[in-house]
Chain A
Amino acid sequence: MINKVAASPEAALADIPDGATIMIGGFGNAGMPAALIDALIAQGARDLTVVNNNAGNADAGLAALIGAKRVRKILCSFPRQADSWHFDKLYRAGEIELELVPQGTLAERIRAAGAGIGAFFTPTAHGTKLAEGKETRRIAERDYVLEYPIHADYALIKADRADRWGNLAYRMTARNFAPIMAAAARCSVVQVREIVELGAIDPEVVVTPGIFVKRVVKVAAALRKAA
């Protein structure tokens, strides 16, 4: 019997080694797998490369992981925010490496990894600082920049519902990076509000089919509040 349900966030993340590349879902607080990030902090792996849209907000979640100096490098599109003080401090001290990637290029590089694409040409960032040193090509009168996929060892994501095969349904804009990260990582771990019987998620509304998912953990929903 296939059963991807892990007993706890701790059990689901026990094998993450030092030096791993980890994708973390979420855009701001929407879709941020807070319980998994807390478990990763407790687990102790260090020297991590993290892929997320941002570089942490305030003092919880990704910001706490960065603040604990566990992240060697971050790939993101928008690190600087009013409350990104943990990242800002380490970046200014030269203690964290930043690869700044335009948001759509970040998404497509993640998608490409999961889809088995070797590289792709995108018009985004052509003629800007973020394309310096990159291969370019003119195709049908338009200029493009060559970009490579981003693969990961683990993806930590959040969904609303899962079944034991790992089929996932999301809630509103909390979906954001989760489906593409699930496909791009060798081992994707999903925090969900509810685990349901096989067939209880209408196959027409399954967004991430279980083939992209390795482990599922139920986490009691926190009280919903504004982001």
Chain B
Amino acid sequence: MKKLDRNQMAARVARDIPEGAYVNLGIGLPTLVADFLPKGREIILHSENGVLGVGPKPAPGQEDEDLINAGKEPVTLLAGGSYFHHADSFAMIRGRHLDFAVLGAFQVSAAGDLANWHTGGADAIPAVGGAMDLAVGAKKVLVMMEHLTKKGESKIVERCTYPLTGARCVDRIYTDLAVIDVKPDGLHVVETVEGLSFDELQRLSGVPLKRLASAA
């Protein structure tokens, strides 16, 4: 089988973002999606620190410390972009104005519960940022993560063992092995990577999967 690398995962997510969408890309892996959005589609990126219309990274030497994204990296602003304060920024999120949030995850449950903010470890310092707002607020929550942990355990689980970010909030999961829709009646496999059968994906996954007619 051909596992997707991080860039290929980002490109796969990017393919599904339509013209005209307002999108928030979470810190880490989801940020890569910006580099693969199809040219010619107008897609408006939101960053929760208070900007719509985030553009590409500035050229070296052109960084401005007042213009950053939620990951505190220097960015640029597209023509048509705008700035606003934090309460407005989260009104956009919580008020269901954002079409998509793309988030990383530690675990997603069969019911679409998301765990991505805290390992719950005794010595771990918790930090949540805007993850819980994005989880409940975006019209569609897309999760992007490796299918398996480094130990080979499925990150798609019956019940999350890590503390939840949001309950029943995930709409679609993109992994390095498959694209899976979360529906009221369970997890539907939309596609698998080349050379991976449905049965093999099922063997690697922690929960029962359903086969879509079009899936391999």
Chain A positions near chain B (C-beta within 8 angstroms): 27-31, 53, 77-81, 84, 87-88, 91-92, 98, 100-108, 110-111, 122-130, 170-180, 207, 224-227
Q: How far is the CA of A127 from the CA of B85 in the complex (A)?
A: 27
Question: Is B206 an interface residue, CB under 8 A from the partner?
Answer: no
Q: Is B153 an interface residue (CB 8 A)?
A: no
Chain A residues near B123 (CB-CB < 8 A)? 92
Judging by beta carbons under 8 Å apart, are A130 and B128 in contact?
yes
Counting contact residues on chain B (CB < 8 A from A), the size range is: 35 or more
Q: Is B64 in contact with A224, judged by CB distance below 8 angstroms?
A: yes
Interface residues of B in 70-121 (CB under 8 A from A): 72-74, 77, 83-87, 89-90, 93-94, 118
Excluding A78-B127, A175-B85, A226-B74, 6 further A-B contacts by CB distance (< 8 Å) are A27-B68, A27-B72, A88-B125, A102-B128, A173-B68, A226-B65
Q: Which B residues have a C-beta under 8 Å from some C-beta of A?
A: 47-51, 63-68, 72-74, 77, 83-87, 89-90, 93-94, 118, 123-133, 136-137, 163-167
Check B126 against A30 for contact (C-beta < 8 Å): no
With a CB–CB cut-off of 8 A, which chain B residues contact A130?
128, 132
Beyond A79-B125, A128-B163, A129-B118, whether A29 also contacts B133 by CB under 8 A is: no
A175 touches B50 (CB 8 A): yes
Contact between B127 and A30, CB atoms less than 8 A apart? no
Residues in A with CB closer than 8 Å to B47 are 173
Q: In the complex the two chains form, is A227's CB within 8 Å of B72's CB?
A: yes
Give the Cβ gap from B146 to chain A, nearest Cβ, in Å: 22
Known: A107-B89, A123-B136, A180-B87. A29 touches B125 (CB 8 A): no
Contact of A30 among B49, B77, B124 (CB under 8 A): B49
Please state if B130 and A177 are interface contacts (CB–CB under 8 Å). Answer: no
Given A30-B49, A30-B66, A177-B85 contact (CB < 8 Å): yes
For residue B62, which residue of chain A has the nearest CB? A226
Contact indicator B127/A124 (Cβ below 8 Å):
no
Q: Judging by beta carbons under 8 Å apart, are A77 and B164 in contact?
A: no
Inter-subunit contact A103/B85 (CB<8 Å): no
Chain A residues positioned under 8 Å from B131 (CB to CB): 102
Residues on A with beta carbons closer than 8 Å to the beta carbon of B50: 27, 173, 175-176
Q: CA–CA, A174 to B85, complex, Å?
A: 9
Docked-complex contact A30 and B90, CB < 8 angstroms: no
Once the chains bind, are B65 and A176 in contact (CB under 8 Å)?
Answer: no
In the complex, A52 Cα to B83 Cα: how many Å?
Answer: 19
- In the complex with contacts A30-B49, A107-B90, A226-B63, A102-B83 CB distance below 8 A: no
Task: State the Cβ distance, B93 to closest chain A Cβ, in Å.
Answer: 6
Q: A-B pairs with the 3 shortest C-beta distances?
A: A104-B90, A104-B133, A226-B63
